[in-house]
Amino acid sequence: MKPTDVQDPNYFHKVVDCQWACPAHTNVPEYIRLIAQGRYTDSYMLNRESNVFPAILGRTCDRPCEPACRRGRLEDAKPVAICRLKRVASDLKGDISHLLPSIPQKKNGKRLACIGAGPASLAVANDLMPLGYQITMFEKLPQAGGLMRSNIPAFRLPGTIIDEETGVILDMGVDIRYNTPVDSMRSLLRDNFDAVFVGTGAPRGKNLEIPGRYQTDRIHIGIDWLESVAFKHIESIGERVLIIGVGNTAMDCCRTSRRLGGKDIKVMARRPRTFFKASPWELEDAEEEGVEILINHAPSRFVLENGKLIGMEFERLEWDEQARKSKTIDTIFLPADDVILAIGQENSFPWIERDLGIEFDKWDMPVVNETTLQSTLPNVFFGGDAALGPKNIIWAVEQAHQAAISIHNFCHGSAVTERPAPGVNLITQKMGMSEWSYHNDYNPSARQKMQHVDLTERFRELNVEVELGFSAEQTAREVQRCLNCDIETVFTPKRCIECDACIDICPVACLTIAPNGEEEDLRTRLSAPAFNLDQALYVSAPLPQTGRIMAKDEDVCVHCGLCAERCPTAAWDMQKFEILISQASGTPEWNTTLVPA
């Protein structure tokens, strides 16, 4: 194998599994360390730099970071509660007003229209307001937040939290127009904005065209129904409720039904549990509230009696192992007063005229460049669910960051393809003999369990937030579970005397000195076999004494730094890796908040 180039920004970035997995590349280990030091405000601001809505995401994020967490590959197999710690930072932060970017009095003369006031549009405004843009934001609802407001129930995400984090951005001087749906792109384009950003989400719930669908008003589209609940147009539901679909929206629908009078609530899934779309923790939370989840049921028709919905008929299925092919066992009837359809959502752009130069593909989706988020009409950009189909909040934020870079380039006459490159810092953490600037010991604590409000208490009102957040003790334990994967083991081959000290001390058998070979062969010859091909081997140049190479399997390194402590020649060093991700405002300087306290 060729020696690993650790100057490549992606090499160590991949080692920080959580940060690499996060679409917005939130610097997770650093914000967890700041929490450990009690620097909640700094931790919040570090989060905000990349993900813009730490308090909202600390409650609702899809958490791509957690399945990626290195801790999950160790013996106890439970990742760090990254998302919950984000909420800790936002719960305990102080005043942030003085830490927000200043908004120039003198504007740069560029006008931007943002359609929708959801996470994508708000994040674009967050990036571009400090650069002097004048932004007009059109929102069809009377409040900002988009689907975060209308589709996520208040018992998971209180409105006050949305008010606070959207307010910070709107207060930068965004010209927000509530209750102003954009009905025609043509007429908006006539207003001569320098650029238009479409962040309208995926506002249409999928329908279920089976017999009986239109003969009653007790069949609801999930996201529309949730919106009606959020804005208090609906305040009750029948006792027996069937939810069709088993994604996160279905979980929100069943738990909301539980609070509006539903007693016998069943979530109906076509496929076995391992194929569910909902996050495991949302399934658990729903089941804790007494919701029943039935697998292998395919809806076949709505059953009505005298024009009144009395239930539904399902085919019971038997699946093959991959759940690709099924056969029907029999048909059963389940009684119901209401049915909620939560089988997905899709984009819909009836308000964009098709002769404006904005191309649509065969699925009626706008043609959008995945990197630049630019449409085929150069001054129109898309982001969030509206751009590349429904994803989640954190993806919307990342697309907004990228769209903001494109908009900024576009408005200043440079090519949108000219993306600023990321920078990298690698700084030794050595403070003295066997002394590091980070807490290097491995903490064997188990993952802390989120405490919930009592079942009786939480159903008293619709908006009682279920999750209580971590206690001080829980936080203190959970932060120490983080392995500090951003403190990297960096090797200088010419210093190595091949004494084996690092290999002998490594608790997880990461290190090997061996003759070089091709990767496939080398992976079988290590101290412990390296079968996780997603994780890199860090391979050195030939060592001075024998010409063998040092190989490190990054897979389960606990970043304890003992290799560096036991190294007599400082060939191993622990260095903090920091990737400087560019935004519209440019590549950040070395972030001074990250200097050890």
Partner 1 sequence: MPSIAKPRVAHPSAQLNQIGLKQRDYEGVMSTLCAGCGHDSVTAAIVRALWELSIEPHMLAKMSGIGCSSKTPAYFVNGAHGFNSAHGRMPPIATGANAANRELLYIGVSGDGDSLSIGLGHLCHAIRRNLRMVYLIENNGVYGLTKGQFSASADVGSKSKRGEANQMSPIDPMLLGLSLGATFLARGFSGDKEQLVPILKAAIEHRGFAMVDIISPCVTFNDHNGSTKSYLYTRQHQIEATQMDFVPPAREILAEIGTAGEIAVTLHDGSVVRFKQTPEGYDPTNRSAVSRYLEEHAGTGKIVTGLLYVNEAGPELHELNHTPAHALTKVPYEKLCPGSKVLAEMQQGWR
Residues that bind partner 1 (CB under 8 A): 73-75, 434-436, 440-442, 444, 497-501, 503-505, 507-509, 528-529, 531, 545-546, 556, 558, 560-562, 565-569
Give whichever of 211 and 547 is closer to partner 1, judged by the CB atom.
547
Half-sphere exposure of 448 (CA within 13 A, CB side): 25
Give whichever of 365 and 496 is closer to partner 1, judged by the CB atom.
496
Q: Are 269 and 293 in contact (CB under 8 A)?
A: yes
The structure tokens listed for 309 are 């919905």
Strands (E), 320-466: 326-335, 338-341, 345-346, 380-382, 423-428, 430-432, 435-436
Give whichever of 151 and 575 is closer to partner 1, judged by the CB atom.
575
- Give the nearest distance from C-beta 483 to partner 1 in angstroms: 10
b (16+ CB within 10 A) / e for 348-384: ebebbeeebebeeeeeebbebbeebbbbebebbbbbb
Give whichever of 351 and 442 is closer to partner 1, judged by the CB atom.
442
What is each CA distance from 315 to 209, 269, 331, in whole angstroms? 16, 11, 4
Grouping H, G, I as helix, E, B as strand and the rest as coil, residue 451 is: coil
- Give the nearest distance from C-beta 157 to partner 1 in angstroms: 36
The structure tokens listed for 9 are 């920004």
Q: Are 134 and 112 in contact (CB under 8 A)?
A: yes
Grouping H, G, I as helix, E, B as strand and the rest as coil, residue 534 is: coil
Backbone angles phi, psi at 339, to 5 degrees: -130, 135
Q: Are 254 and 243 in contact (CB under 8 A)?
A: yes
- Give the nearest distance from C-beta 3 to partner 1 in angstroms: 22
Amino acid at the residue 287: E
Give whichever of 354 and 525 is closer to partner 1, judged by the CB atom.
525
**Distance from C-alpha of 269 to C-alpha of 467, rounded to nearest angstrom:** 26
- Give the nearest distance from C-beta 353 to partner 1 in angstroms: 57
Q: Residue 87: which of 51, 117, 111 has the closest Cα? A: 51
- Give the nearest distance from C-beta 504 to partner 1 in angstroms: 4
**Distance from C-alpha of 425 to C-alpha of 419, rounded to nearest angstrom:** 19
Give whichever of 49 and 565 is closer to partner 1, judged by the CB atom.
565
- Give the nearest distance from C-beta 28 to partner 1 in angstroms: 20
Give whichever of 176 and 530 is closer to partner 1, judged by the CB atom.
530
- Give the nearest distance from C-beta 312 to partner 1 in angstroms: 46
- Give the nearest distance from C-beta 510 to partner 1 in angstroms: 8
Give whichever of 181 and 507 is closer to partner 1, judged by the CB atom.
507
**Distance from C-alpha of 67 to C-alpha of 353, rounded to nearest angstrom:** 42
- Give the nearest distance from C-beta 428 to partner 1 in angstroms: 15
Give whichever of 497 and 533 is closer to partner 1, judged by the CB atom.
497
Q: How far is CA 7 from the centre of its chain?
A: 27
Q: Residue 407: which of 184, 167, 118, 123 has the closest Cα? A: 123
Q: How far is CA 407 from the centre of its chain?
A: 23
- Give the nearest distance from C-beta 405 to partner 1 in angstroms: 40
Give whichever of 168 and 528 is closer to partner 1, judged by the CB atom.
528
Q: Are 74 and 145 in contact (CB under 8 A)?
A: no
**Distance from C-alpha of 142 to C-alpha of 140, rounded to nearest angstrom:** 7
Give whichever of 168 and 508 is closer to partner 1, judged by the CB atom.
508
- Give the nearest distance from C-beta 536 to partner 1 in angstroms: 17
Q: What is the CA radius of gyration of the chain?
A: 26
Grouping H, G, I as helix, E, B as strand and the rest as coil, residue 124 is: helix
Amino acid at the residue 155: F
- Give the nearest distance from C-beta 529 to partner 1 in angstroms: 6
- Looking at the DSSP bridge assignments, the partners of residue 293 are 267
Backbone angles phi, psi at 48, to 5 degrees: -60, -35
Give whichever of 179 and 445 is closer to partner 1, judged by the CB atom.
445
Residue with tokens 């039935």: 294
- Give the nearest distance from C-beta 515 to partner 1 in angstroms: 11
- Looking at the DSSP bridge assignments, the partners of residue 552 are 511, 538
Grouping H, G, I as helix, E, B as strand and the rest as coil, residue 563 is: helix
Give whichever of 109 and 529 is closer to partner 1, judged by the CB atom.
529
